[in-house]
A and B are shown apart, each in its own frame.
Chain A
Amino acid sequence: MNHRGAAPERKVYRQEIKSTWWLKKKSYFFFMMRELTSVFVAAFVLLYAYELFLLSKGPQVYDLFQESLRRPLFLGFYSVAFVFALFHTFTWFAVLSKVQVVRIGKWTAPAALVTGSALAGWVAVSIGVGWFFLTRH
């Protein structure tokens, strides 16, 4: 036993984890990509808010921005953002079956049913939103 002076020092073993740990395995990589989706989602909604702000400045300013949306840089960004947004949607509804367990009496909904229903709801909502914005009524 070590009785030298003050309380004995304990060295706890802490495994060194590099910041690049998520590059080591495919599953780790896709986990990080899933987390990254939130950045693209936020970027999109902020750009959308900016678009609304420019709308408030009048038709010339707004149309100028619509013009710039046709440039390759924006189209490229939105294409990438779209892929990440879809990845968010799919991974979110997959996790939903684990987070929100649906039980009616003794019956528990299978995961595929929860995810499938959520995806069906998503398709319906998307069609609804698309119809609202893209048709004149």
Chain B
Amino acid sequence: MYKKDRTEPFWWGMFSAGGMVAALLVPIHILIDGLAVPLGLVDHELLGFERMSELLGHPLFKLYLFVLIVPPLYHAAHRVRFSLYELGMREFRVSMDVLCYGGAVAGTIGVAYLLLEVF
């Protein structure tokens, strides 16, 4: 793969980091944000507007959110890219690669802007 695409090791590195973050953090967050709070298993005020706004005042919390959201995007981008090859995609390889990683980059910029400028 390296001969065909010399940037691949970099994207693989990002994939690896994102995969680690996703493996460690995503299940508990889906459990809390997607299931426990909406199902009423925990007090919804704990993730309510006031508390979240207060937490977002801390730069470290913003950093945590950045780490939670952004690396998994690169993980998915790399995996989707190669899954498309696995599923038989022969044409449009370069444009699909660009779409995958470009999407991750766009997400990075969007989230960085959200956390730095908006909050």
Contact = CB atoms under 8 A, between A and B. Distances in A.
A125 interface: yes
B33 A45 contact: no
Contacts of A18: 88
A135 B32 CA distance: 12
Given A55-B52, A69-B38, A35 B83 contact: yes
A92 B20 contact: yes
A30 interface: no
A7 B103 CA distance: 45
Contact of B25 (A82, A125, A134): A125
**Range class of the A interface residue count:** 35 or more
Contacts of A41: 22, 26, 72, 75-76
A93 B110 CA distance: 30
Interface string B27-57: 1111111111111001010111100110010
A126 B28 contact: yes
Interface string A42-60: 1011101101110110110
A32 B65 CA distance: 29
Interface in B64-119: 65, 68-70, 72-73, 75-77, 79-80, 82-83, 86-88, 107, 110-111, 114-115, 118-119
B109 to A, nearest CB: 12
Interface string A7-46: 0000000000111001000000000100110110110111
A114 interface: no
Interface of B: 19-20, 22-39, 42, 44, 46-49, 52-53, 56, 65, 68-70, 72-73, 75-77, 79-80, 82-83, 86-88, 107, 110-111, 114-115, 118-119
25 contacts: A19-B88, A32-B83, A41-B26, A42-B72, A44-B30, A45-B70, A48-B33, A49-B69, A49-B107, A56-B118, A56-B119, A66-B38, A69-B34, A74-B34, A85-B26, A88-B23, A88-B26, A92-B20, A92-B22, A125-B24, A129-B25, A129-B29, A130-B32, A133-B32, A134-B46
Interface of A: 17-19, 22, 32, 35-36, 38-39, 41-42, 44-46, 48-49, 51-53, 55-56, 58-59, 62-63, 66, 69-70, 74-75, 77-79, 81-82, 85-86, 88-89, 92-93, 118, 121-122, 125-126, 129-130, 133-136
Given A45-B70, A89-B22, 6 more contacts: A63-B49, A70-B39, A75-B38, A82-B30, A125-B24, A136-B46
